[in-house]
Chains A and B, each alone.
Chain A
Amino acid sequence: GEDVEQSLFLSVREGDSSVINCTYTDSSSTYLYWYKQEPGAGLQLLTYIFSNMDMKQDQRLTVLLNKKDKHLSLRIADTQTGDSAIYFCAEIPGGSYIPTFGRGTSLIVHP
């Protein structure tokens, strides 16, 4: 397909791990991103991964990239209520500087 795809909702219990998945479109994409949108705010870059990497870890965040399947995932360890937000997967296709965003996954963290 032509779209960056991600599931729309994910509900987890506080303290558990969250895994948000994304399928992107362009195998030549150089950078892949995760943006976070909190209520009433714009999107903010959470983390990114360069296409020659398989994994990137940053404190509670782990990004996994499977280039063969064009699959990107974001794992949040020890999920907190403050992690409740919409998470957008994005790519910049090869030869372009224009990001393509998924629909966003609403992460709901309950006690």
Chain B
Amino acid sequence: DAGVIQSPRHEVTEMGQEVTLRCKPISGHDYLFWYRQTMMRGLELLIYFNNNVPIDDSGMPEDRFSAKMPNASFSTLKIQPSEPRDSAVYFCASSLVGRNTEAFFGQGTRLTVV
């Protein structure tokens, strides 16, 4: 497996625009996580899914953020409208409950909102 794949790797957008981040988890994994990383706040869990069902979105900062997982191999995180304070690195990770329940991370999407 190629690992967790995120796209795009970098995104620069203007304030007010809609941004969609994409993630393909590792095949067979049953948990998918979206994280945001900033210098100020470190690594924040935004939302996670279990078997494609959103379980806890309490980390989503505002209603401007939404996430979907229409099938086991794809998830999106959308920000609409985007604001400069949304600038961060967004990570998707997946895991399979098992021996050590390791979380596998994608390379991240660096979002810059100007």
- Bound complex: CA A40 to CA B91 (Å): 11
Q: Which residues of the partner chain B approach A33 to less than 8 Å between Cβ atoms?
A: 100, 102
Interface footprint category on B: 20 to 34
- Bound complex: CA A50 to CA B100 (Å): 8
Answer whether residue B25 sits at the interface, using C-beta atoms and an 8 A cutoff: no
Q: Which residues of the partner chain A approach B34 to less than 8 Å between Cβ atoms?
A: none
Contact with A along B25-68 (1 / 0, CB 8 A): 00000010100000000110100101000001000000000000
B residues contacting A by CB (< 8 A) are 4, 31, 33, 42-43, 45, 48, 50, 56, 91, 93, 95, 97, 100-108
Answer whether residue A24 sits at the interface, using C-beta atoms and an 8 A cutoff: no
A42, B107: Cβ atoms under 8 Å? yes
The secondary structure that dominates the B interface is strand
Known A-B contacts A31-B101, A92-B101; the reply to A42 vs B48 at CB < 8 A is no
The secondary structure that dominates the A interface is strand
Question: Quick one: which of B43, B97, B108 contacts A101, CB cutoff 8 A?
Answer: B43
Contact with B along A25-39 (1 / 0, CB 8 A): 000000101010000
A41, B107: Cβ atoms under 8 Å? yes
A45, B102: Cβ atoms under 8 Å? yes
